[in-house]
Structure 1
Amino acid sequence: MDTFLPIAYVHDQFMPFTEAKISIATHALHYGTGAIGGLRGIPDPQNANQVLLFRLERHCHRLSQSARFLHYDLPSSTIKQVIVDFIQKNRPTRPFYIRPLVYTSGLGIAPRLHQVEKSLLVYGLAMDDYLSPTGVSCRISSWQRQADNSMPLRGKITAAYIASALAKTEAAESGFDEAIMLNTQGKVSEASGMNIFIVRNGQLITPGFDQDILEGITRDSVLTLAKAMGIPTIERPVDKSELYIADEVFLTGTAAKVAPVKRVENYTLPADRPITERLRTTLIAITEKREPQYQDWVDTIAFN
């Protein structure tokens, strides 16, 4: 059972999580007119009176951009201040995940974005590994990733996650851990809530933005790290068949971090994953503020 942090932010104020309620007539509940964010944080291993947040500025910027699709002008600085206050009030003592949600909070019944109130809420929960760090099994979903001309995929719009939910449940109910979704052109797009990378002949390959993927922040971090490590990287369309013969496959996301894939459909992938492991361990070191070169990726939030 999820362990939620005790304080939430809703209706422009902080209150106990158990008292944070919205109306059953809330517009976003009926029409998917919301946008989500997600941040990882850990207690500082060196100081019990503060926590470390990974790429806070970038997460706030992306959520601010997502809000624009909802016709909501919400500065990233406002989101950041709410999250900092949220951390200081909750004082988490375990690794945690923060979920900010921008949503149409009005009670109207018309599916629209104009003349309807918008709001921000934030809650959090303790979270360890979302996916097994030893490797997950994936199936190719029968559900396609939406196209950008049908939904604004540059934002984490809540309505888009119906396809992810269908794909994830389909995978789980057929004995797999995760789903890999193809786009409308039949190319590999992403997993149910994560970006995907493959390694072939020492080269790191991932679908580009033209493949209807989410602009993942962990994805961006991995590409930056790989280039700094001298690992050849390329963003290009990926065929389904490449997944079966890849030397390595892994998923990336805020919740998943870097999660190796051990099997795709009935194809078992090599157990030796040198590039995946190198990137995974380096990213962990960065989130714990043990990599001086990437200190600016980690915000230190001290408790009041």
Structure 2
Amino acid sequence: MSDFLPYAYLNGQFVPFEEAKISVATHALHYGTAALGGLRGLPNPANPKEILLFRLEDHCRRLSRSAYYLGYELPTSEIKARIIEWVQKNQPRVPFYIRPLVYTSGLGIAPRLHDIEKDFLIYGLPLGDYLAATGVTCRISSWQRQCDRSFPLRGKLTTSYIVSALAKTEAVSSGFDEAILLNEQGKVCEATGMNLFLVREGQLITPSVDQDILEGITRRSVIELAQAAGVKVMERPVDRTELLIADEVFLTGTAARIVPVSRIETYTLPSDRPLTLQLQKQLQAIVEGREPQYRHWVDVIPL
């Protein structure tokens, strides 16, 4: 239990993490009727009595919209207020990760979203690098990303992560760090919990939102940063063969931040990654509150 921050938010109150328990009959546990969020925080390097949260409003808005698929009206403002209270309650002293979860909390055995109670919880844990910052190896997964006509991919719903889990284990079991999923058209979609970018001839390319991707917040941030630096950004379908001849490939996500890809299948990618490195350094500076131009992306929480 020591790996988690000391307090959780459950059933409308803050409780010690060890006491934050739900029933074995909880509806969401059986049917995947839940939506999750995830955001990073860290003590302000310039003031240890402050916590910096990256793009808090955006994360809360996405979770609120995801909750809507579950028939749960949970305002962005309420999620944000509870997360701020949770941070102040826990007083974290190291970089950490926050996991808010919206779920069907009622007890029952019928898969449905009507006539079932919903609730909202928060917990968190210290978190350093999610993947190796120096580069990861990837395989093309045999598992296919769900398509939007059969699954609400605009929401960050827990059910979708079964494919991610299958693909991740397949990749690790076959000697790779991470998996790249294709969509039903055979186009590049994303990794198991991260969006994907590639660089070709100075252009930054990423699968567009009509390619069954999750609309990532770090993804959107990277696009904005690249465009502000004068880099041409293309959001379009991506063929798997493009990855193998790319000048740079990297993954983005809240937990992963920006992680370069060093090898895909048997193809080794160039070790010189100027744009990846530039974006990594700039994003880290923003997260640490050192980029005045992007202070609006960082919430400062007093302790």
TM band (smaller chain): over 0.9
Superposition deviation, residue 252 in structure 1: 0.2
Counterpart in 1 of 2:84? 84
Percent identity (aligned): 68
Counterpart in 2 of 1:209? 209
1:256 aligns with 2:256: yes
Count of residues in correspondence between the two structures: 303
Aligned AA (1:102): V
Give CA deviations for 1:136-158 in whole Å, capped at 9, x if unaligned: 00000000000011110001100
1:185 aligns with 2:185: yes
CA RMSD of aligned residues (A): 0.8
Give CA deviations for 1:176-199 in whole Å, capped at 9, x if unaligned: 000000000000000000000000
Counterpart in 2 of 1:33? 33
Counterpart in 2 of 1:274? 274
Aligned AA (1:241): T
1:141 aligns with 2:141: yes
Superposition deviation, residue 3 in structure 1: 1.5
1:154 aligns with 2:173: no
Aligned AA (2:293): Q
Aligned AA (2:18): T
- Do the aligned residues in 2 keep the contact of 1:199 with 1:247 (CA within 8 Å)? yes
TM-score (norm 1): 0.99
Helix, strand or coil: the match of 2:80? Answer: helix
The aligned runs of 1:232-247 (5 Å cut-off) are 232-247=232-247
- Do the aligned residues in 2 keep the contact of 1:2 with 1:126 (CA within 8 Å)? no
Q: Distance in 2 between matches of 1:127 and 1:67?
A: 26
**What are structure 2's unaligned runs of at least 5 residues?**
none
Q: Distance in 1 between matches of 2:2 and 2:161?
A: 20
Give CA deviations for 1:36-94 in whole Å, capped at 9, x if unaligned: 00000111001111110000000000000000000000000000010000000000000
Q: Distance in 1 between matches of 2:280 and 2:230?
A: 16
Aligned AA (2:93): T
Counterpart in 2 of 1:294? 294
TM-score (norm 2): 0.99
- Do the aligned residues in 2 keep the contact of 1:250 with 1:276 (CA within 8 Å)? yes
Q: Distance in 2 between matches of 1:122 and 1:163?
A: 24
Helix, strand or coil: the match of 1:43? Answer: strand
Q: Distance in 2 between matches of 1:69 and 1:149?
A: 14
Q: Distance in 1 between matches of 2:65 and 2:231?
A: 31
Superposition deviation, residue 262 in structure 1: 0.2
Q: Which moved more, 1:2-11 or 1:123-132?
A: 2-11
Aligned AA (2:272): D
Aligned AA (2:16): P
Give CA deviations for 1:221-256 in whole Å, capped at 9, x if unaligned: 000000000011000000000110000000000000
Helix, strand or coil: the match of 1:79? Answer: helix
Q: Distance in 2 between matches of 1:48 and 1:207?
A: 39
Counterpart in 2 of 1:12? 12
The aligned runs of 1:68-107 (5 Å cut-off) are 68-107=68-107
Give CA deviations for 1:265-300 in whole Å, capped at 9, x if unaligned: 000000000000001110000000100100000000
Q: Distance in 2 between matches of 1:205 and 1:173?
A: 29
Counterpart in 2 of 1:113? 113
